[in-house]
Chains A and B, each alone.
Chain A
């Protein structure tokens, strides 16, 4: 093996996977109705993008040489839609085998070839929050993705400048998988809280042990051996240090309030609630202590804890000052989030800007990327969508979608077969259109944990 070691060593440090530059485009979009979301609407306005960044917004801009001009007369230009809850482009969703799996990284299992990315682009979505599932109290760390369709390296669709986020889950899913499925804690909502508090307390001990070791290590005659390594506890410690944003799957007001209290006890400020169907009952508390809630427009009653729900939830949360976003958690809903956002106007009477913020700047805030994306402002990354008709209209159809100024979707150049990979052994069967009931994947990969009580409380939907 000596020769082998030599060969490998010789090549180490050659930087074979040094981060390749992701594509950045330049484009001038002319005469659009620009929906900036943060700075009002501007009619017949041009937006100039250079090297992936919005450089100028104004009238009668001219394209520098070599920059393509797109005439968007009569059309609407809005910021790329951001989905704060998705499982698109993940090979694995749930590492459901333990109540805490904070060490698991969704970035390890990103699949840039999944055609769902292209479908999301066709719905104007440029960024999705690829989350771990909800089988565990503390699930894995999520990945924020930029939909650079066609990239082959998973690293090229991961938004490298987005902060770390992690999935938590309360209520029926973790108690069913671990308590009822496997006979371990948590079996109840009290157990969920205990798992969280024990986890954080252990993380504090862990950090202390490493601090002690690090300072003892350099001393002469040191007798302190290194403590065990645990990325699980290290990740929880990073949450306590404010390095990671929690995104917590939750439905009931009592458990939402419980987590707010746990977070306050441990000094955690970076917390976003997901689903949050009873959020309207604790909206002032969510507004005061957290980074808000990411909800469905009108989806509920798929299991017991999700019956007490209202389509006014988003509007109530928003009017109480909570940062509110509307998400998909579904490879189908992700294709028309603009339509989901419009429901807040029917149920709650939000303004256009408020409704559009639910799928742009608000989810950007919840993902910690609002300084980079989420609105059309000079200096921001050029994630843009051109719409036929106003995006909140029932007649809205996305026409072109840009990420970093590069066009990844154009309705005029929409090939029938967008798949990037085709298996050499694929039996080509005739295609039939049908509605796919099982579109959301929050509880994917957890079947093995239900063997003990198969079917007892399972329904079709497992958010």
Chain B
């Protein structure tokens, strides 16, 4: 029911779009309608694909397709021209596997005859008939955030249990379009069990995966027997079995989420046993497996997130025993090894791409720069974000580089993209131009400001933030502490009524830019909230972001001392 409702919703959206379009044929009371679909970015430094040098070029595109790239392009009348003289153009990033804008459908009610040892597939997380298209909201703030980080295409993985459904490739263009490039591209799978019912653990999930796979194979056999011979009983193919059919027939691969080393091995073991086509995604710890991955040729998507360095920063200089020092050293070694993993994939010649699931959009470029500092070449980093991803997803013909005939997806930045000072000024996705504010540097020669050189933030601030759950707010207090700041924040207690208070950490003030973090305890786990903003006099404008949930606007006013 839910599924068909969602489908109807999608259809409704399309129909509504049609009516809006025709209404606009007469007038556009919103004033938001584009004057033209044809644009040219002139005389910018273009890096058309990884490894190619930057050349001064003009890029002309219309209705989402690149019409021409080069220096002698003639620009037709009616083209909106964006002078690109000081700007850099890169192909738009492609997310190998993401969850932006995806909402997990509600579980159906448990049936009256529910037995935990044999639950219906839908409750047990086995829903291969579902599709990411039905779960995707192109107007989600997460989509905005990732586009702002340079992503123009995402391979979206549906949310759910062990086999949540089929993925889809979408372009992160206009929020009013369906943005679909290709539906049903791969079958998502993971090792998550269902709580309190079969299968509950990774071992149960593996056994159930084999069961689903084998019975889906047999269902196809039964169907073909039924089609060819008279007197064969009618095949009672379940939605699970028909949902799995394209996997069994090797029309689409399984995209298995396997962050940890042993999970990667488990996914590969299932692949070897059953013979399906496989893409590994969400890889987090894979250093030991690089030779195995290399010889398997299985496409890999590694997490775009990196571990935080809280544990490293918490290590004390003095007053600790030799034994503790030795443990510190091992954690440090482990941390450094993680940062070097991507470089090792490159060295092994594995054409990997990234997955954004679980990563913070605001950290994406920072993480890439860290990987580059740790040995990944800029060429390989860009390839992972563009051509490799396009090739793994089978969309190289239309995406991955800035070329005539390909989708108009690119990034326009103020500097070479992996340069620390680079800022993204525009992102073009599906031919739609998204503009971002470029912040002026408070220059002190090298373009950075040391802590303490920013403006004073000391005092009590009252803040307001908007989230899908509604508007909320609290107090934010900063006190000067040596060259830096300490602080605390109050917020609506997620576990009840009233306000909770948490210390604020990692406060950094750079010019009038401020960033800080705090932890919210929700249901026993700490969620880190990152706030970044810009201070102008007594007001602060910024965003509050939480990994996986997206970011929300935040405003604050200095309450005391009043300036």
The complex places the Cα of A1 from the Cα of B390 at a distance, in Å, of 10
Q: Can you list 7 A-B pairs with a CB-CB distance of less than 8 A? A: A2-B394, A8-B253, A8-B297, A95-B200, A97-B199, A154-B265, A422-B333
A442-463 CB mask vs B (1 if < 8 Å, else 0) is 0001001101000000000000
Question: In chain A, residues 1-48, which have Cβ atoms closer than 8 Å to a Cβ of chain B?
Answer: 1-5, 7-8, 10-12, 14, 16-17
Contacts of A421 in B (CB 8 A): 334
Question: In chain B, residues 430-453, which have Cβ atoms closer than 8 Å to a Cβ of chain A?
Answer: none
Question: In chain A, residues 226-276, which have Cβ atoms closer than 8 Å to a Cβ of chain B?
Answer: 226-231
| A426 B299 Cβ-Cβ under 8 A | no
The complex places the Cα of A207 from the Cα of B187 at a distance, in Å, of 32
Contacts of A92 in B (CB 8 A): 201-204
Question: In chain B, residues 201-239, which have Cβ atoms closer than 8 Å to a Cβ of chain A?
Answer: 201-204, 206-207, 210-211, 214-215, 218, 221-222, 225-226, 229-233, 235
| B253 A97 Cβ-Cβ under 8 A | no
| B229 A428 Cβ-Cβ under 8 A | no
| Given the contacts A91-B262, A104-B204, A422-B334, A3 and B225 also touching, CB distance less than 8 Å | no
| A98 B222 Cβ-Cβ under 8 A | no
- Which residue among A16, A97, A228, A417 has the maximum number of chain B CB atoms within 10 Å of its CB? A97
Q: Which residue of B lies closest to A229 (CB)?
A: B214
Q: Which of B203, B206, B277 contacts A5 (CB 8 A)?
A: B277
| A94 B334 Cβ-Cβ under 8 A | no
Q: Which residue of B lies closest to A451 (CB)?
A: B196
| B292 A16 Cβ-Cβ under 8 A | yes
| A109 B202 Cβ-Cβ under 8 A | yes
Contacts of B335 in A (CB 8 A): 424-425
| B117 A222 Cβ-Cβ under 8 A | no
Contacts of A16 in B (CB 8 A): 268, 292, 295-297
Q: Which residue of A lies closest to B326 (CB)?
A: A417
Q: Which A positions have Cβ atoms within 8 angstroms of B?
A: 1-5, 7-8, 10-12, 14, 16-17, 91-92, 94-99, 101, 103-106, 108-109, 111, 113, 140, 152-154, 178, 182, 184, 221-223, 225-231, 416-417, 419, 421-428, 430-431, 445, 448-449, 451
Interface membership of B308, Cβ < 8 A: yes
Contacts of A99 in B (CB 8 A): 117
The complex places the Cα of A316 from the Cα of B392 at a distance, in Å, of 65
B261-278 CB mask vs A (1 if < 8 Å, else 0) is 110011011001001011
Contacts of B396 in A (CB 8 A): 3
In the assembled complex, how far is the CB of residue B168 from the closest CB belonging to chain A, in whole angstroms? 12
In the assembled complex, how far is the CB of residue A370 from the closest CB belonging to chain B, in whole angstroms? 28
| B326 A416 Cβ-Cβ under 8 A | yes
Q: Which of A4, A96, A103, A230 contacts B299 (CB 8 A)?
A: A4
Q: Which of B118, B231, B235, B333 contacts A223 (CB 8 A)?
A: B231
In the assembled complex, how far is the CB of residue B560 from the closest CB belonging to chain A, in whole angstroms? 36
Question: In chain B, residues 239-270, which have Cβ atoms closer than 8 Å to a Cβ of chain A?
Answer: 250-253, 261-262, 265-266, 268-269
Contacts of A5 in B (CB 8 A): 250, 253, 277
| Given the contacts A8-B297, A97-B117, A445 and B307 also touching, CB distance less than 8 Å | no
In the assembled complex, how far is the CB of residue B266 from the closest CB belonging to chain A, in whole angstroms? 6
- Which residue among A4, A111, A182, A417 has the maximum number of chain B CB atoms within 10 Å of its CB? A4
Contacts of B116 in A (CB 8 A): 97-98, 182, 184, 449
Contacts of B253 in A (CB 8 A): 1, 4-5, 8
| A4 B279 Cβ-Cβ under 8 A | yes
Q: Which of B201, B235, B331, B393 contacts A94 (CB 8 A)?
A: B201
In the assembled complex, how far is the CB of residue B370 from the closest CB belonging to chain A, in whole angstroms? 13
Interface membership of B103, Cβ < 8 A: no
Contacts of A178 in B (CB 8 A): 117
Q: Which of B229, B288, B298, B307 contacts A8 (CB 8 A)?
A: B298
| A426 B394 Cβ-Cβ under 8 A | no
Q: Which of A14, A108, A228, A445 contacts B200 (CB 8 A)?
A: A445
| B251 A428 Cβ-Cβ under 8 A | no
| Given the contacts A178-B117, A417-B326, A14 and B297 also touching, CB distance less than 8 Å | yes
- Which residue among A16, A99, A230 has the maximum number of chain B CB atoms within 10 Å of its CB? A16
In the assembled complex, how far is the CB of residue A171 from the closest CB belonging to chain B, in whole angstroms? 19
| B221 A226 Cβ-Cβ under 8 A | yes
Contacts of B210 in A (CB 8 A): 103, 231
The complex places the Cα of A427 from the Cα of B331 at a distance, in Å, of 8
Q: Which of B203, B272, B292, B311 contacts A95 (CB 8 A)?
A: B203
The complex places the Cα of A412 from the Cα of B261 at a distance, in Å, of 31
Interface membership of B391, Cβ < 8 A: yes
Contacts of B221 in A (CB 8 A): 225-226
Contacts of A96 in B (CB 8 A): 200
Interface membership of B310, Cβ < 8 A: yes
| Given the contacts A4-B279, A184-B115, A225 and B331 also touching, CB distance less than 8 Å | no
